[in-house]
Amino acid sequence: MAQFGTDVEEDLVVMDVKLKQLKNEFDQYFLGTRKREPYLLKNEVAKMMTLYANIRIQNTGHRFKFNNLRARYFSLKRHWDLTLRKIEEGRYERHVFKANLREREASSAVASQPGREPVAGAKAGEGGLFDDYLAARLACGQGTKGVTKDKLDALLAKQERAIREKTGCAEVRFRVVVEGGKTKLKASPVRG
């Protein structure tokens, strides 16, 4: 591409690619894998959109494609602005979930220290795993239909037996993790 604004067809392809890249970078930023908001790419895409919004596109197919890209851009921009506002106000669901999870882990660590009483409603060292799992599913929008403590306990017992047989460890610890917007339980064998 020699210069932006000379070949409409090529520019529309570049805009589409950059918009997809911007969406991916914002997704990474909101998940916490990227440290900063993608300002440079955001400004570049905004300039492209502004340039072509002020130019009359003669070809109907190109105009249709640009209008679709522009509509998608404004839809995504609204979503990003809303999410950024929630982050600034401290209401962003994933951040609230992570803060609650850190708080539970901290209280669990205090409870597992010698001479301390366990957290109410949780077995020593468990840290309310079922509650954490339910909270994570709700935060990810997965719902809790069909999830019961008995089912989870049975599943964990089965997994624990299999991991103990495979690794020969004395104990297996489970923790709640969110990966790709899905709630999962991760097991860690404890050798001792």
- In this predicted structure, what is the pLDDT of residue 109? 57
Q: Which helix (H) or strand (E) holds 2?
A: none
Whether 1 is in a domain gets the answer no
Structure confidence by residue, pLDDT tens digits, 55-70: 888 899 999 999 999 9
* Boundary-marking domain end, from 30, 63, 89: 89
Q: Are residues 52 and 98 in the same domain?
A: no
Whether 185 is in a domain gets the answer yes
Whether 68 is in a domain gets the answer yes
Structure confidence by residue, pLDDT tens digits, 6-51: 788 999 999 999 999 999 999 988 888 888 999 999 999 999 999 9
Could you tell me the residue range of the domain that residue 17 belongs to? 8-89
Q: Are residues 183 and 161 in the same domain?
A: yes
Whether 3 is in a domain gets the answer no
* Boundary-marking domain end, from 39, 70, 89: 89
- CA-CA distance, 15 to 50, in Å (whole number)? 12
Whether 184 is in a domain gets the answer yes
Whether 174 is in a domain gets the answer yes
Average pLDDT, the chain: 81
Question: What are the DSSP calls for 111-167, one per residue?
Answer: HTSTT-PPPTTS-TTT-SHHHHHHHHHHHTT---TT--HHHHHHHHHHHHHHHHHHH
- CA-CA distance, 86 to 92, in Å (whole number)? 5
Q: Are residues 167 and 110 in the same domain?
A: yes
Q: Are residues 105 and 176 in the same domain?
A: yes
Confidence class of residue 123 from pLDDT cuts 50, 70 and 90? very low
Confidence class of residue 178 from pLDDT cuts 50, 70 and 90? confident
Q: Are residues 84 and 98 in the same domain?
A: no
Q: Are residues 142 and 158 in the same domain?
A: yes
Q: Are residues 50 and 97 in the same domain?
A: no
Average pLDDT over residues 156-176: 86
Bridge partners, residue 171, by sequence: 190
- CA dihedral (139, 140, 144, 148) positive or negative: negative
Confidence class of residue 108 from pLDDT cuts 50, 70 and 90? low
* Boundary-marking domain end, from 55, 74, 89: 89
Q: Are residues 35 and 75 in the same domain?
A: yes
Per the structure, how many domains does the chain have?
2
Comparison of pLDDT for 90 and 125, the residue scoring more: 90
Q: Exposed, middle or buried, 100 (CB in 10 Å: 0-12/13-18/19+)? A: middle
Q: Are residues 112 and 144 in the same domain?
A: yes
Q: Are residues 120 and 179 in the same domain?
A: yes
The model's pTM: 0.50
Whether 102 is in a domain gets the answer yes
Backbone φ and ψ for 190, nearest 5 degrees, come out as: -110, 110
Comparison of pLDDT for 66 and 167, the residue scoring more: 66
